[in-house]
């Protein structure tokens, strides 16, 4: 178990998810510092007392636990493998929790490079959008060593409602792609509301009834409430969902499997 009194967390990435994870960890009294490519998103966190480091190398040198939550493969590859990236400075025994939604291929490469350097790495994919991060109700999907996974529970407790070890390295990110595929249900809700308009069904009646049917899972109830309030503010950018769907298609057509199929 990681002790708050001795842990020094370095968090990389201040996007929609990363900034909220950083705030939760800071609010939970973890010693945390942050690095982000652009300085703008760091200003509000800096005002609240989060230390912003000038470089990845500085962050890695001053941290024994590193978390990263980045937008795509390109950002993750750059942060970890550039000359001044994470792997250029990480010491043996460093713990890395990589939370980005990336390709299984890149995730496997990260695991291999970490193992070669004596670094403990988990892919720790996140199921849940920004309101869930703020509320601490996300689900974490991990891939990696079981002992490494169990020892990080105190961090999970500060940011998530539940956490699962799916299997060996890269299993967490693969499970995340399976989960995100179900996001197409959001499109079905949009089509249903469009059909309601065409058929001239009362909007409030439609949404109230839909929320009580078996076809609407609990996670979609919040979407129905937002529609009822004419609130269409995004909780997850379309560009990132498009990226995730591309990863799903690539994974579905890949011949690489971790688990053998039964004969």
pLDDT tens-digit readout, 122-164: 999 999 989 999 999 999 999 999 999 999 999 999 999 999 9
- Whether 260 shows a pLDDT value over 70: the answer reads no
What integer is the mean pLDDT of 5-29? 95
Q: Please, are residues 143 and 121 in contact by the beta-carbon 8 Å criterion? A: no
103: left (phi over 0), alpha (psi -120 to 50) or beta: beta
pLDDT at 257: 52
Rg (CA), the chain: 20
Q: Flag the least confident range among 101-105, 115-119, 160-164, 221-225.
A: 221-225
Residues with Cβ < 8 Å from 197, sequence gap 6 or more? 203
Checking DSSP bridges between strand 120-127 and strand 138-143, what pairing results, if any? antiparallel
* Domains with residue ranges and CATH for the chain: 9-169 (3.40.50.720), 182-252 (no CATH)
Q: Please, are residues 36 and 20 in contact by the beta-carbon 8 Å criterion? A: no
For residue 79, the SS3 value is helix
Q: Please, are residues 99 and 124 in contact by the beta-carbon 8 Å criterion? A: yes
Alpha carbon 219 to its chain centroid, in Å, reads 17
**Among candidate residues 79, 21, 87, 23, the one with its CA nearest the CA of residue 50:** 23
pLDDT at 255: 58
pLDDT at 240: 84
pLDDT tens-digit readout, 221-258: 888 998 999 988 877 778 888 898 889 998 888 855 54
CA distance 188 to 36: 36
217: left (phi over 0), alpha (psi -120 to 50) or beta: beta
pLDDT tens-digit readout, 161-218: 999 999 999 999 999 999 988 878 888 888 999 999 999 999 999 999 999 998 888 8
Q: Flag the least confident range among 43-57, 109-123, 142-156.
A: 43-57
CA distance 131 to 217: 17
- Whether 11 shows a pLDDT value over 70: the answer reads yes
**Among candidate residues 156, 169, 160, the one with its CA nearest the CA of residue 127:** 160
CB atoms within 10 A of CB 65: 20
CA distance 120 to 110: 11
CB atoms within 10 A of CB 201: 14
pLDDT at 184: 82
Scanning 117-183, the segments in alpha helix (DSSP H) are 130-135, 146-150, 153-159, 171-181
Q: How confident is the model at residue 263 (pLDDT cuts 50, 70, 90)?
A: very low
216: left (phi over 0), alpha (psi -120 to 50) or beta: beta
């Amino acid at each position: 178990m990681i002790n708050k009194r001795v842990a020094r967390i370095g968090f990389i990435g201040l996007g929609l998810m990363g900034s909220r994870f950083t705030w939760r960890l800071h609010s939970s009294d973890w010693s945390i510092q942050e690095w982000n490519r652009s300085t703008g998103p760091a200003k509000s966190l800096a005002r609240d007392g989060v230390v912003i480091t000038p470089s990845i190398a500085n962050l890695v040198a001053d941290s024994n636990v590193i978390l990263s939550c980045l937008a795509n493969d390109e950002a993750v590859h750059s942060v970890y493998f550039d000359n001044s990236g994470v792997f250029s400075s990480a010491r043996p025994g460093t713990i890395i929790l990589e939370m980005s939604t990336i390709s299984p291929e890149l995730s496997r490469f990260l695991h291999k490079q970490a193992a070669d350097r004596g670094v403990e790495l988990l892919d720790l994919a996140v199921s849940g959008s920004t309101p869930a991060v703020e509320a601490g109700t996300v689900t974490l999907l991990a891939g990696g060593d079981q002992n490494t996974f169990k020892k990080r529970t105190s961090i999970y407790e500060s940011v998530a409602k539940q956490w699962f070890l799916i299997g060996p390295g890269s299993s967490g990110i693969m499970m995340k792609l399976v989960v995100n595929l179900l996001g197409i249900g959001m499109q079905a809700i949009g089509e249903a509301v469009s059909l309601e308009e065409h058929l001239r069904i009362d909007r409030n009646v439609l949404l109230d009834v839909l929320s009580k049917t078996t076809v609407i899972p609990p996670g979609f109830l919040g979407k129905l409430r937002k529609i009822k309030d004419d609130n269409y503010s995004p909780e997850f950018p379309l560009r990132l969902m498009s990226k995730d769907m591309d990863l799903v298609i690539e994974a579905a057509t890949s011949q690489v499997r971790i688990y053998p199929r039964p004969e």
